[in-house]
């Protein structure tokens, strides 16, 4: 699968950057300006293998197996570098804010030096994603967010993934366009950053509800035969989180969360015998528990139809050639332990995504039996927190992609890198 991904995560950087504060400045009119973010770089090595009678480059595989994919790279991890600019103030009793999040990466696409020339028609420099641009207005009644930000459905599934601070599956190392995958596609589906208008209840209570309207996404199958391009209604996403601290400090924590998605997209090719519209849906949730003694356990799941497996709506797996919704499900289990008064953090995680065939997918009815069946990965990580802002990460990842014709691609990967939050 081509890695034209991914990820930003201003929310993650704020939550997990171990007290890095960034730079804050005041203004005479009462507004405050801040600059924060992170820079990370990882040395990665991947060694993919294929076992099958034909090919392992089937639709939905997360492990490219070409000769060039046995490769060493120096690249951005799952979270890109991030430069976050914010301004906050209060007018007329309303808390106001604006947020800009730039997400650059360090590696050159296609391994072209400086990414200049080379016949690829590329501009000089690395890829910079404008991931977040939004405003907020709030008070004791809650908050409205309008702009581009991380989606609500499966947001917590992503934000609780420990590989946000690492690499996980690389998704293929040869092209090097975008961030790595982490557990995306092997534990949850990537929520995407999208234009939205969302409302959240006040955050000073254990429970918080978020509900929003999203710029709707089009849907294509892998061959492009189904053209669901007409988006006459926004997509609906919602999330509820409940967080309780049972001990004296924030280290004792129980968080429960659930999210949902509902959309409708119409077919422009009327009269073709393909469905006139599809209604993707999804439900996800999970739990996070920390005992205050350094142990943290996480578990999450999703079950959905017409959404896909790796990237929502855009991975060619959401529907079959007739427009029938493909269902998918997955889960992520992980444990992390940091001994008291220690700078060492140890983590282990396992995730799986399963995609179900439709009637049209089965070999008796078509020739598309080479779609993925299961994608899974197991990740072990050791992190050393030099300071509250600087951490070193050593990681091992074993991944597997299996098709319905029993062809299977596997990959072993090692990554070592540094992350600096400010």
So what's the pLDDT on residue 42? 96
Higher pLDDT, 385 or 322: 385
Identify the H or E element spanning 16. Answer: helix 10-16
Distance CA 41, CA 165 (A): 11
5 band by pLDDT with thresholds 50, 70 and 90: very low
Q: Which of 19-23, 41-45, 56-60, 214-218 shows the lowest mean pLDDT across its residues? A: 19-23
**Which residues 6+ apart lie within 8 Å of 80 measured at CB?**
6, 7, 8, 40, 103, 104, 105, 129, 179
Q: What percent of the chain has pLDDT over 70?
A: 83
Q: Is 12:18 a contact under the CB 8 Å cutoff?
A: no
So what's the pLDDT on residue 83? 94
Higher pLDDT, 119 or 392: 392
Over 90: is that where the pLDDT of 178 sits?
Answer: no
Q: Is 102:127 a contact under the CB 8 Å cutoff?
A: no
So what's the pLDDT on residue 125? 55
**What's the number of CA atoms in the CB half-sphere (13 Å) around residue 266?**
8
- Provide the total of helices (H) and of strands (E) in the chain, helices listed first: 2, 22
Q: What are phi and psi of 227, to 5 degrees?
A: -120, 80
pLDDT digits (tens, 9 = 90+) for 255-292: 999 999 999 999 877 666 678 889 999 999 999 999 88
Q: Which of 116-130, 216-230, 299-313 shows the lowest mean pLDDT across its residues? A: 116-130
Higher pLDDT, 161 or 268: 161
DSSP per position, 214-267: EPPPPEE-TTS--EEEE--S-EEEEEEEEEE--SSSTTEEEEEEEEEEE--EEE
| Burial readout 190-225 (b: 16 or more C-beta within 10 A, e: otherwise) | bbbbbebebbbeeeeeeebebebebebbebbbbeee
pLDDT digits (tens, 9 = 90+) for 186-212: 999 999 999 999 999 998 899 999 999
Cα separation values, 146 from 31, 155, 360, Å: 19, 17, 40
So what's the pLDDT on residue 326? 95
Distance CA 194, CA 215 (A): 7
Three-class DSSP category at 130:
strand
Token digits of residue 343: 């700078």
**Fold type of domain 10-421:** Porin (2.40.160)
pLDDT digits (tens, 9 = 90+) for 118-130: 444 455 556 677 8
Over 50: is that where the pLDDT of 1 sits?
Answer: no
223 band by pLDDT with thresholds 50, 70 and 90: low
Q: What is the mean pLDDT of residues 19-45?
A: 83
Over 90: is that where the pLDDT of 28 sits?
Answer: no
So what's the pLDDT on residue 20? 54
Over 90: is that where the pLDDT of 221 sits?
Answer: no
């Amino acid at each position: 699968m081509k890695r034209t991904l991914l990820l930003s995560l201003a929310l993650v950087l704020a939550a997990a950057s171990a007290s890095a504060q960034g730079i804050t400045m005041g203004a005479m009119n009462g507004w405050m300006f801040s600059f924060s973010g992170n820079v990370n770089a990882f040395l990665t090595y991947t060694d993919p293998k294929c076992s099958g009678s034909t090919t392992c480059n089937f639709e939905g595989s997360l492990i490219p197996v070409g000769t060039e994919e046995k490769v060493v790279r120096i690249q951005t991890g799952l979270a890109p570098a991030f430069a976050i600019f914010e301004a906050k103030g209060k007018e007329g009793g309303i808390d106001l804010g604006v947020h800009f999040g730039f997400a650059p990466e360090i590696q050159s696409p296609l391994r072209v030096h400086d990414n200049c020339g080379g016949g690829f028609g590329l501009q000089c420099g690395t890829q910079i994603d404008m991931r977040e641009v939004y405003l907020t207005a709030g008070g004791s009644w809650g908050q409205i967010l309008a702009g581009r930000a991380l989606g609500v459905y499966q947001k917590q599934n992503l934000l609780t993934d420990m590989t946000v601070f690492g690499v996980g599956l690389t998704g293929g190392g040869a092209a090097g366009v975008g961030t790595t995958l982490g557990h995306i596609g092997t534990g949850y589906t990537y929520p995407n950053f999208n234009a939205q208008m969302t409302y959240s209840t006040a955050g000073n209570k254990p429970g918080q509800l978020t509900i929003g309207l999203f710029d709707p996404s089009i849907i294509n199958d892998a061959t492009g035969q189904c053209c669901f391009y007409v988006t006459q209604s926004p997509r609906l996403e919602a999330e509820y989180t409940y967080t309780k601290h049972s001990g004296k400090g924030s280290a004792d924590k129980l968080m429960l969360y659930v999210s949902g998605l509902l959309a409708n997209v119409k077919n422009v090719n009327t009269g073709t015998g393909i469905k006139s519209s599809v209604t993707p849906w999804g439900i996800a949730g999970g739990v996070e528990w920390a005992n205050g003694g350094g142990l943290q356990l996480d578990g999450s799941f999703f079950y959905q139809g017409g959404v896909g497996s790796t990237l929502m709506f855009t991975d060619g797996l959401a529907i079959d050639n007739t427009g029938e919704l493909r269902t998918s499900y997955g889960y992520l289990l992980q444990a992390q332990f940091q001994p008291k008064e220690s700078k060492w953090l140890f983590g282990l995680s396992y995730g799986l995504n399963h995609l179900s065939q439709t009637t049209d997918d089965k070999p008796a009815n078509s020739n598309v039996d080479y779609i993925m069946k299961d994608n899974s990965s197991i990740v072990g990580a050791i992190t050393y927190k030099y300071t509250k802002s600087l951490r070193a990460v050593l990681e091992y990842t074993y991944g597997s992609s299996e098709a319905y014709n029993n062809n299977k691609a596997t990959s072993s990967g090692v990554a070592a890198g540094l992350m600096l939050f400010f």
